[in-house]
Amino acid sequence: MSSIFTKIIRGELPCYKIDETDDCFAFLDVNPNRKGHTLCILKKEVDYIFDLNNYSPISFRVKGTIFDEFLTPQISADGLSKMTNRVSKFNYDSHVHSLPKKRLNAFMDWEHNGYLLSLITRYIDGYTNQRPIIGLGASLGYKNKVDSFLVFDISARKSIDLDEGNINFGIAIINALDESAPRLYDAPDFSFDTRVHDPRGRLVNLNLEYNF
């Protein structure tokens, strides 16, 4: 008996289709957690996941946050305390606690021919610094807005079994497209969100382990 998803793919049940490939079908959820909630399913119908013997194992995970409002007290110019929304604004007390409106991490692992191939996508929304930039900061080209930032990390790992123990080796390219960290002027601290932005640019890591 066909499942509800098979009927959607065949067009027997209505849906709002987002995209379709030879293997997958993506459409909007009828009971979304929030606007834009999308389901992506395989076109192949099986009773158990173990029946997917023609596919290399792939895992895909997405973690994200969206802030609409985060109110904290702030002393205004007239000396009065008022509640201020900190979302999408720079945090001068601790820049690593700045609150970009959107933050998204996506992880995909693919096991193929004995290798574990991984792709990590990291996205952070832009946020602003409301202090004016004058003098030296302006002359050096600093600005009061951190642009949105998208970074891709790629890695490959393989494990080889030996008579005694095993060898694990891997290579990883962090920030594969060599995106530069944004510069935001707030003398004396030239700051950015260190959890996402790394001033070193593209990094290549090699790893070799021998377990016995």
CA distances from 24 to 27, 40, 138 (A): 10, 7, 50
Q: Which residue has the tokens 């027997």?
A: 12
Mean pLDDT for 183-189 is 52
Other CB atoms within 10 Å distance of the CB of residue 7: 13
Reply yes or no on whether the pLDDT at 193 is more than 70.
no
- 119 φ/ψ sector (left φ>0, alpha ψ -120 to 50, else beta): beta
Reply yes or no on whether the pLDDT at 2 is more than 90.
no
Compare 98 and 143 and report the one with higher pLDDT: 143
Reply yes or no on whether the pLDDT at 22 is more than 70.
yes
Integer Cα distance of 159 and 161 in angstroms? 7
Amino acid at 124: I
66, 74 Cβ separation under 8 angstroms: no
Mean pLDDT for 175-196 is 64
Q: What is the pLDDT of residue 158?
A: 92
Q: Which of 200, 196, 203 is nearest to 150 (CA)?
A: 196
Reply yes or no on whether the pLDDT at 98 is more than 80.
no
* Dmax (CA) of the chain: 76
Neighbouring-strand partners of residue 169: 158, 208
Compare 191 and 117 and report the one with higher pLDDT: 117
Q: What is the pLDDT of residue 131?
A: 64
84, 71 Cβ separation under 8 angstroms: yes
Amino acid at 36: G
Reply yes or no on whether the pLDDT at 8 is more than 50.
yes
Q: What is the pLDDT of residue 190?
A: 44
Mean pLDDT for 13-35 is 83
In this prediction, residue 188 has a pLDDT band, given cuts at 50, 70 and 90, of very low
Least confident of 5-9, 53-57, 144-148: 53-57
123, 150 Cβ separation under 8 angstroms: yes
Mean pLDDT for 189-212 is 74
Mean pLDDT score across all residues of the chain: 77
Q: What is the pLDDT of residue 189?
A: 44
Q: What is the pLDDT of residue 110?
A: 86
Q: Which two tokens stand for residue 50?
A: 């173990």
155, 115 Cβ separation under 8 angstroms: no
Mean pLDDT for 138-153 is 78
In this prediction, residue 99 has a pLDDT band, given cuts at 50, 70 and 90, of low
Q: Which long-range contacts (CB under 8 A, 24 or more apart) does 58-61 make?
A: 58/108, 58/109, 58/110, 58/111, 59/107, 59/108, 59/109, 60/106, 60/107, 60/108, 60/109, 61/106, 61/107, 61/108
Q: What is the CA radius of gyration of the chain?
A: 24
Compare 33 and 191 and report the one with higher pLDDT: 33
